[in-house]
Structure 1
Amino acid sequence: MKQKFVGEFRSYLIMTVGLLMYSFGVTAFLIPSKIIGGGVTGIATVIYFVTGVKTGYSYFLINSLLILLAIRSLGASFGVKTIYGLSMMSLFLSVMQQLITTAIVDDIFLNTILGGLLCGLGLGIVFNEGGSSGGTDIIAMVVNKYRNISPGKVILLCDVVIIGSSYFVFHTLDKMVYGYVSMWVVSYTIDAYLNGAKQSIQMFIFSEKYEELADFINHETNRGLTVFDGTGWYTKENVKMIMTVVRKREAAPIFRKIKEIDPNAFISQNSVMGVYGDGFDVLKY
């Protein structure tokens, strides 16, 4: 029970960091440069420039309405992390917009890139922890229920329309183009972060000290493994082979341990496209 609580607390703490990064990217780089991004944040930014209402307030109101729509259409299937994400995002946007009134950087293109990077990295962190900030993904799920349209296409269409609306606010094409650039940077950064965070490797380890290595992998990295019997064809001797799959970031401690106890071990490492099961991704097919 204690371990589960610590794990959940850590997950929410990491999510909070991601939400802070996203909010800082919007309020410190995009809004001061009058760049409209995608999603509900983009809608809230448009409302801010038209009416003066702070983005945090309209962001919370719009997401609340979307959640009510989703509950009516899809049922009460939204988790606590979604409510937490949109609530904290609303709070951070409101507070930061009060504290940050001018752009940190004078160059509008640099603001576009930095804002997109921070927003994409923040959302990637949130998504990696199983969280969500609500927004246009709710619209996508509702539309997908009634029409055979992929959620990705719906979200892309929403972002294109939202960013395109900036032309009617500022009456200039360059702001709209910068908005599309920021949208691309956000999307690319999210994909890069998630792919890097979830990248796994498969390791084959041949060692006479396989028991000590197997215990280390099993107990210190909390990863499963399988020990196979084999025959070295050159020596005609029986050998033991460890096969394990770990996240890429978990490989370094294993290599250090191998070097420490058996520098002569033979190791093969391969990147794998997908790993499903306990401790990895959930099979959704």
Structure 2
Amino acid sequence: MRSYSSVRWLLVIVGAIFAAVAIELFLLPNNIIDGGIIGISLILNRITSINFGLLVFLLNIPFLYIGYKHLGKSFFVYSLLGIIGLAATEAILHQFHFAPITDTPLLATIFGGLLLGIGVGIVIRNGGAMDGTEILSLLITKRLPFTVGECVLVFNIFVFAWAVFVFGIENAMYSVLTYYVAAKAIDTVVEGLDSTKAVMIVSSHYDELTNILTQRLGKGVTRLKGQGGYEGDEKDVLYVVVKRMEIMQLKKAIYAVDKHAFFTIINAHESRGSTFKRKDDH
């Protein structure tokens, strides 16, 4: 039988609670929505007065089934836990009629979107999901020449267009801003605050550069074999991963060895594994 981490269970529940607080105490009172199934549930809640928690649970059922079939049992379990946690927490908050944190739409947009994004991001980071649109998009991209992001964007265009007729154009605009803030918060939680950069360096002084990067900066360096596209001559390419705050230090080290070195700096969403350490770090 598959074992599930109790810590991950707890974190998924915490993420669901954050999302429920954002929706019940920031977004709902100010007629502001998010995208996806959560956004549709908020619109239907306004139109029908059916409890938001019940709506988000029912609308996600088919997507949970799809996730179980295509993404596995673990994804299904953590997603189900997150959705139930969201629905239950929102129902409890609604039952006790807690006063909204703010009735200023801009504040509700920023802080509601931030809290919602943190909650959803925690659930995603721990192997689940609370919105079925991305699950559906994954299947669409297998059959049509679109990315997941493009599919989600098209879906949300219809959601926010619907919001214009239900909440008015101004609230729909706040909703788009909420979606943007939430998306950025999700990226930050999933990818981490301390972003890393992958650097590729082309230089004829590769031995000196390797030495300064490993000994002075304490970085692991991988030497790749390359070939010039114009002259066809062989070149060594150095590959190194650094933290964002180490970029300037790295540039100085490169220029100290070779002022004519060619290098590119690429965003790396996540890096794991062993690395060299400076001798004075022991």
Q: TM (normalized to structure 2)?
A: 0.66
User: CA shift at 1:95, angstroms?
Assistant: 2.0
3-state SS of paired residue (1:79)? helix
Q: CA deviation at 1:113?
A: 0.8
- What corresponds to 2:171 in structure 1? 175
Confirm or deny that 1:149 pairs with 2:146.
Answer: yes
Structure 1 residues 19-168: aligned runs within 5 Å: 19-69=16-66, 74=70, 78-100=75-97, 102-168=99-165
1:194 CA drift (Å): 2.9
- Work out the percentage of aligned pairs sharing the same amino acid: 25
> Is the 8 Å Cα contact of residues 56 and 94 (structure 1) preserved in structure 2?
yes
SS in 1 for 2:145: coil
Distance in 2 separating the partners of 1:241 and 1:187 = 34
CA contact (8 A) 1:40 1:62 kept: yes
- C-alpha change, 1:81 and 1:75, in structure 2 (3 Å) is closer
Counterpart Cα distance in 2 of 1:146 and 1:9: 37
Residues 34-83 of structure 1: CA deviation (Å, up to 9, x unaligned)? 112111111111111101001111111110122335567x4866432122
The question of whether the paired residues in 1 share the 8 Å contact of 2:15 and 2:82 is answered with: no
Distance change >3 Å, CA 34–CA 151, structure 1 → 2 = same
Tell me: CA distance 1:189–1:240, structure 2 relative to 1, closer, same or farther (3 Å): closer
1:188 and 2:188 aligned: no
Q: Indicate conservation of the 8 Å contact 2:121/2:189, yes or no.
A: yes
Asked if 1 retains the 8 angstrom alpha-carbon contact of 2:17 and 2:119, the reply is yes
Structure 2, unmatched stretches of 5+, are 199-209, 221-239, 244-264, 275-282
Q: Aligned letter for 2:156?
A: D
Q: Residues 20 and 89 of structure 2 are in contact (CA less than 8 Å); yes or no, is this contact kept in structure 1?
A: yes
C-alpha RMSD of the superposition: 3.5
> 2:219, 2:241 within 8 Å by CA — same for their partners in 1?
no
- 1:149-169 alpha-carbon deviations (Å, 9 max, x no partner): 111111122222112211221
Question: SS in structure 1 opposite 2:128?
Answer: coil
Q: Distance in 2 between matches of 1:125 and 1:166?
A: 27
Alpha-carbon contact 1:70-1:142 (below 8 Å) kept: no
Aligned partner (choices 13, 20, 34) of residue 10 of structure 2: 13
- C-alpha contact (below 8 Å) 2:112/2:178 kept by paired residues: yes
- SS of alignment partner, residue 146 of structure 1: coil
Cα distance in structure 1, aligned partners of 2:185 and 2:71: 32
CA distance in 2, matches of 1:102, 1:69: 37
- Unpaired stretches in structure 1, ≥5 consecutive residues: 203-229, 233-238, 249-270, 280-285
Report Cα offsets for 1:111-139 as digits up to 9, x if no partner: 11110010111122222222222421122
Which 4+ stretches in 1 moved above 3 angstroms?
68-72, 74-79, 197-202, 239-248, 271-279
C-alpha contact 1:198 1:247 (8 A) present in aligned 2 = no
Distance 1:186 1:103 in 2: 19
More divergent stretch after superposition (112-121 vs 128-137): 128-137
Distance 2:47 2:63 in 1: 22
Q: TM-score, normalised by structure 1?
A: 0.65
